[in-house]
Structure 1
Amino acid sequence: GVLVVLAGSVGQQDLTQGLWGDTKTNCRALIIHLDHNTNNCTDRTLRQLDEAGMWQLSDVRVVVVGDRNEVESVLLHPSLRNVASAVFMAISTKQSSESIHYLHHKAMQEEVGERVKVYRRCLYCNAGDPTVQFVRRERLDILHLSRSLIHGLARNLQGRRMNVVSVPFSPYMDYIKHDDRPGGTITPKNCVDEWLLPVISKKLNVTYNIFEEPNHGFGLATNGKFNGMMGYMQREEADFCTSAGVTDDRLQVVNFLRTYPSDLMTLVSLKPTLLPQHLALIRPFEQEVWASLLVGVVVWGVTLWVLQRAWVWATGGRAVQFITALLYGWGALLEQPPKDPSVNTSGQMLVGWWLVFCLVISTGFRSSLIAHLSVQSKTRPVEVLEDLVKADNWRWGIDAWLLKGVPRDYFSKHTHPTVQHIHKHMEAYDSDGGLRQVLKGRFSFINFHNYISIIVASRYTDKNGYTPFFVSKKGFVLVAFFGYGFRKGAPFYTQFSQVTRRLEDAGIIKFWIADVLARGVRERSAKAGLDMYPDLSTELDDNREVVLGLNHLQGAFY
């Protein structure tokens, strides 16, 4: 809709409602008539616009009618600092005190020959800063504001210098510092932003002043006030920040631009190990099968003993001892049966069917044992958070820098009992400290998949590609995407969005991420100069002595 404001005649509440509209409509154009019959009407109107949040509505077109002496003070007023399109129609003091509709009516009757001067505010024409430009002079009755004059989307930002706050977040942002003091200027290095920011700079003609957030904090809210990068955005101390996660709280103070796809939060644990060899002989059958066999042997022995005792009681003759019947059942199951203890036909039938049963069981056991010795079973890997809670005497931790951003809110505010339990017993380490805890066993380290994968591949992997760590592929998503955060009302948000959207649709951003991951592993490995783990090629040496294990004896079971 279009909102017409007569200076001094609109209340603050009505002005705010008119600017922000409702769920169905919002303000698309604002026409302001500065009436000089009211004292201080200009300053009061502009203050009302600032309090109403006009600075957040960069896409609203503004047309101001007023006195020629107020052109610069109005168009460069802080309340309109983010408005992309603002036009001032300057008329004489006498004319400006009359109704716009009355002036237009007089002009149509050719009673007014006075021409109006049209000015516009150009956001970037003063070496990237706003300035006021004179457009033309026209008679009021034939004045026409062209589409190009009121269209606010500039394709060329004319060298505007933007302040950018950043924290390290590999592989998206990493940098080299130009001085050791916190909050100093930086230059992106070995990261995706090293490619993306120059492309945007060249396309939109902008330059950057990139500095680090002193505490390397992404931003957490306390009583509505953010710290970290989000605090810089909330206080408008920077134009935008580098990649951060999107949350409901942050959206209240920052406009996020989708830049990179979301990364999984994953678990790092020791690789699954072989199950103990001393249990290999019982592993072919499940516990239920072994229990059934035990009960079956006892029941069969008791049945044979009862039948033989009944036969001896009825006809006389040699009796069968209970221990003899029981041991025969076990011996037949082990393919080493003793002498047949049966003394009648019914006992022989029972023994015969038991031998058939033992043949089936022993054949199945032998086949399963050979299979388990050929492809040995391993412990179950830790894949999801539920696995941490179910494991006995298991500990877990998280990278300390993640507690300055979205992961802290996720674990502290989540209502699921498993996540609450994880948060209650969470430990904090840096990346190397957490991985050292993993090496001690029965510990998992929580981190972003891409970030920790670079560290594992570059620092904890030998030249043969072996690493003791298992990085889970079944992580969980914290945020919808990672993106640049822009201060509210930033007039260049749309231009940045167009560039990044085209790069993403073309697959270039995805290619950059894969390239940075691969290049980061190579460069960090070369910088380390040595493997964190010794050469494991000796494990493949057939001439060295090895400990004799059950897997070396599996030929006896064929």
Structure 2
Amino acid sequence: MKWLMGLLFLGGLLNPPPSSEAILHQQQMRLFGSFLRELEKAYFEGCSLIVFYNSSLSEGQRKIFQPNGKSGEGEHQSLIDVLLTYARNFTKIIFRLKEGLPDILEDTNLNIITRCPVYLTVSSAIEDIHNLFLLANKDWDKYFLSRKHLIFTESPAVDVDNFLRADEINTMTALLILRPSSDSESLQVVTNRPYSMNPPYSASDQLAYTLTTWRGRVLDLSDAHFFPDKLTNFFGYQMRVVTFHFPPRIFMIEEENSFQLYGVDVDVVQALSEALNFSLVYGRPSDNEMWGWEKDAGNWTGLMGDLQHRRADIGVADLYIMESYFAIIDMSIAYDIEYLCFVNLVPGPLPQWMALGLPFLLNAWIAVLISIVAGMVLFVFMVKLGLLSGSESEAPWFHDVANLCLYLYASVMNTTLFREPRASHLRIFTAFWSIAFFILASAYKGSLISFLTVPLEQAPIDTHKQLYEKHIDVGSIGYTLKRVMEKNADRFVRLLALRYQHVPSTDEGLQRTLKGKYSFLESRGFLDYTIAVYYTDKRGRPSLHAMREYIAPFGIGLAYPKYVPYVGKFNRVIRRLTEAGFAKKWMADIILRSKRAKVMASGTDNQAGVTEGPGEISSTNGVIQPLSLDNLQGGFILLGIGLLLSVVAFVFELLAKQICWGTSTVC
């Protein structure tokens, strides 16, 4: 008997019973495992489980709780094995929290090998996983912070609250933290309040709150909704909005210590803030650029750079939804459509001497000239045929061909006929000839008055082919639109991309365009507004013209830092705004407000800088404007040509008379 007691004692020394601490850990893992199994039924069916773990257990405790009592290599610790027995339906990928983990994750693309990944993190001290959660937005899982997360920790409540105060961790919307309760036989299920790191919350407010206490029973979803939509209310969270003055989308009016903002894009952001209860703090791009461009090594300047480096939460300023932007930012769905086109200098009116030919189109002029020539030939033939046939003799004046042509020309010009033919067939011809050209002359004179008083504008450049043939440079702000041009299906747009020249601002681009050696590329809405307000004179004549042919239509949206969780929530609100037609209404209101402001300014200020919109001809107060020499230059030019030809003919007649004097009867 003594030897049996000795063997038992020796066995106890070799295989000591598990400590109370180890047993407690095992119970907690089983509780956590049962909770995981219930969540899998309700929320995670068919998903992949990605496990991160570490443990403070000693080597002896690990050995005791190895499966089947076997001691392993320590890569998969015993408590994790206990936990994972409850997650048999999951596809599992397991990582141990150690120094080389970031490098391992960098070489792993979890987006490819997982389906709706769920992250399970086990760490006795929650501060040990702080750096892991700040590795967000890496290649291994760009949506890490937006995934569903389960964290088991033994840390006290104050450490859990401090963990949730980290900037990026504070944005997580699907997070459950489980920690042992005071009775050690249940788990406290804690979640967070995302976007609660600024007023009205203070440093003393707790960011974590308890959902329920888990004691291992069947999960009743009526008790607690473990993954609610936490973005229906931002509780006054201050969203940093980066923007700049860009009418008619954004009006930024300077005030004493701030600026007043309004415009279509501002109205969209304001509607979002009212719907989701967050406040807005506006600011310009930190480097005073506008949209910005790629400077070096993927770093952007301007508005894009502020979003890329998370110095702002929302970017808004007539932003096109383009593929090239998605490498550095995320964007909303479109709330409006804009067209990208070139603006060119208006050619101005045609020279007034051309007004003489403008009443008729070219084919009408050709028909008139052919009729005159054919009529003269026919009239001469009829006169000569009558003289040869011995019929009633005409006056000697009608025997000269030049006189016959002059006779018909006088009728064309509605001049009184100074001679009349005697033959009936010639009189009938003359009567109908006079009627026809009376009608043509009346129509010509009626239209001629209009073209003399209102100069006809030259046709502006409206196609990319015409712009390419003009041999001028084109461009815009930055080089993003150049890449858009290079990929365009239109061959002439791709050729124009070879002439692309960057300008630092819209003002410089428009000023270069006014000089006639440049064509600025921008959205049609901006160009139409700018031309109407700043580049139209008091008679309603614009000095710039936006081409009808456009490069491409683009949706206008908001921009966000990459992988923020509120994109989907914002999109739902924006979709409702778009379907209700608010964006178009707000744009119409902006145009109406601008026109009213111009009318009020013109009524109180008679300076030359106050202009009217396109097509708004200024009043002449009922005064009839007399025609000037510029209006009548065509008539004087024709008179000059006629006098010059007569002088030339006179000189030739004198020379011919001197050469032929007394030598020949022919001369």
For the criterion TM > 0.5, the same-fold answer is yes
Q: Select which of 624, 628, 636 maps to 1:547.
A: 628
Contact 1:64 1:87 in 2 (8 A): yes
AA aligned to 2:250 is: M
1:159 corresponds to 2:230 = no
Contact 1:269 1:469 in 2 (8 A): yes
1:2 corresponds to 2:47 = yes
Per the alignment, residue 384 of structure 1 pairs with 462
SS in 2 for 1:231: helix
Contact 2:177 2:191 in 1 (8 A): yes
AA aligned to 2:148 is: R
Per the alignment, residue 190 of structure 2 pairs with 119
SS in 2 for 1:366: helix
Measure, in 2, the Cα distance between the counterparts of 1:85 and 1:269: 56
Q: Which ranges of structure 2 fall in alignment gaps of 5 or more residues? A: 1-45, 53-75, 77-92, 96-103, 612-616, 636-667
1:211 corresponds to 2:283 = yes
Per the alignment, residue 333 of structure 1 pairs with 412
1:88 corresponds to 2:177 = yes
SS in 2 for 1:88: strand
278 and 443 in structure 1: CA distance in 2 versus 1, 3 angstrom threshold: farther
Measure, in 2, the Cα distance between the counterparts of 1:482 and 1:212: 19
Per the alignment, residue 137 of structure 1 pairs with 213
Measure, in 1, the Cα distance between the counterparts of 2:314 and 2:302: 13
Displacement after TM superposition at 1:47 (Å): 8.6
Per the alignment, residue 403 of structure 1 pairs with 477
Q: Which ranges of structure 1 fall in alignment gaps of 5 or more residues? A: 93-112, 180-184, 554-558
Q: For each residue in 1:62-109, what CA deviation from the matched residue of structure 2 results, as whole angstroms up to 9, or x when unmatched? A: 2345665896798778886653111133469xxxxxxxxxxxxxxxxx
422 and 377 in structure 1: CA distance in 2 versus 1, 3 angstrom threshold: farther
AA aligned to 2:150 is: V
509 and 285 in structure 1: CA distance in 2 versus 1, 3 angstrom threshold: closer
Aligned residue-pair number: 511
Per the alignment, residue 323 of structure 2 pairs with 248
AA aligned to 2:276 is: L
Displacement after TM superposition at 1:501 (Å): 3.6
Displacement after TM superposition at 1:492 (Å): 2.4
Measure, in 2, the Cα distance between the counterparts of 1:440 and 1:35: 69
Contact 2:248 2:263 in 1 (8 A): yes
Measure, in 2, the Cα distance between the counterparts of 1:174 and 1:186: 13
Measure, in 1, the Cα distance between the counterparts of 2:445 and 2:270: 62
Contact 1:246 1:479 in 2 (8 A): no
Once the two structures are overlaid, the 10-residue window that deviates more, 162-171 or 348-357, is 348-357
AA aligned to 1:205 is: N
449 and 550 in structure 1: CA distance in 2 versus 1, 3 angstrom threshold: same
AA aligned to 2:214 is: E
Measure, in 1, the Cα distance between the counterparts of 2:134 and 2:527: 50
Displacement after TM superposition at 1:230 (Å): 1.8
Displacement after TM superposition at 1:497 (Å): 3.1
Measure, in 2, the Cα distance between the counterparts of 1:397 and 1:526: 35
Measure, in 2, the Cα distance between the counterparts of 1:153 and 1:272: 60
> Pairwise mapping of residues 283-432 of structure 1 onto structure 2 (< 5 A)?
283-302=358-377, 320-335=399-414, 349=425, 352-353=428-429, 356-357=432-433, 359-374=435-450, 378-382=456-460, 384-386=462-464, 389=467, 402-404=476-478, 407-411=481-485, 413-414=487-488, 416-420=490-494, 422=496, 424=499
AA aligned to 1:359 is: I
Contact 1:5 1:30 in 2 (8 A): yes
Displacement after TM superposition at 1:255 (Å): 1.9
Once the two structures are overlaid, the 10-residue window that deviates more, 113-122 or 43-52, is 43-52
Measure, in 2, the Cα distance between the counterparts of 1:542 and 1:425: 48
1:494 corresponds to 2:568 = yes
AA aligned to 1:379 is: E
SS in 2 for 1:494: helix
Displacement after TM superposition at 1:249 (Å): 0.7
SS in 2 for 1:547: coil
> Pairwise mapping of residues 509-520 of structure 1 onto structure 2 (< 5 A)?
509-520=583-594
Displacement after TM superposition at 1:155 (Å): 1.9
> Pairwise mapping of residues 54-93 of structure 1 onto structure 2 (< 5 A)?
54-56=141-143, 59-65=146-152, 82-90=171-179
Per the alignment, residue 306 of structure 2 pairs with 232
Per the alignment, residue 108 of structure 1 pairs with none
AA aligned to 2:337 is: S
SS in 1 for 2:289: coil
Per the alignment, residue 189 of structure 1 pairs with 261
> Pairwise mapping of residues 3-22 of structure 1 onto structure 2 (< 5 A)?
3-7=48-52, 9-10=93-94, 19=111
529 and 235 in structure 1: CA distance in 2 versus 1, 3 angstrom threshold: same
SS in 2 for 1:32: strand
Per the alignment, residue 102 of structure 1 pairs with none
Displacement after TM superposition at 1:242 (Å): 1.8
455 and 312 in structure 1: CA distance in 2 versus 1, 3 angstrom threshold: closer
Per the alignment, residue 109 of structure 1 pairs with none
Measure, in 1, the Cα distance between the counterparts of 2:272 and 2:508: 37
Contact 2:478 2:503 in 1 (8 A): no
AA aligned to 2:177 is: F
Contact 2:149 2:176 in 1 (8 A): yes
| Percentage identity across paired residues of the two chains | 17
498 and 311 in structure 1: CA distance in 2 versus 1, 3 angstrom threshold: closer
Per the alignment, residue 32 of structure 1 pairs with 120
Contact 1:82 1:489 in 2 (8 A): no
Q: Which has the larger radius of gyration?
A: 2
Contact 1:127 1:160 in 2 (8 A): yes
Per the alignment, residue 103 of structure 1 pairs with none
196 and 288 in structure 1: CA distance in 2 versus 1, 3 angstrom threshold: closer
TM-score normalised to structure 1 length? 0.70
Per the alignment, residue 98 of structure 1 pairs with none
Contact 2:122 2:151 in 1 (8 A): yes
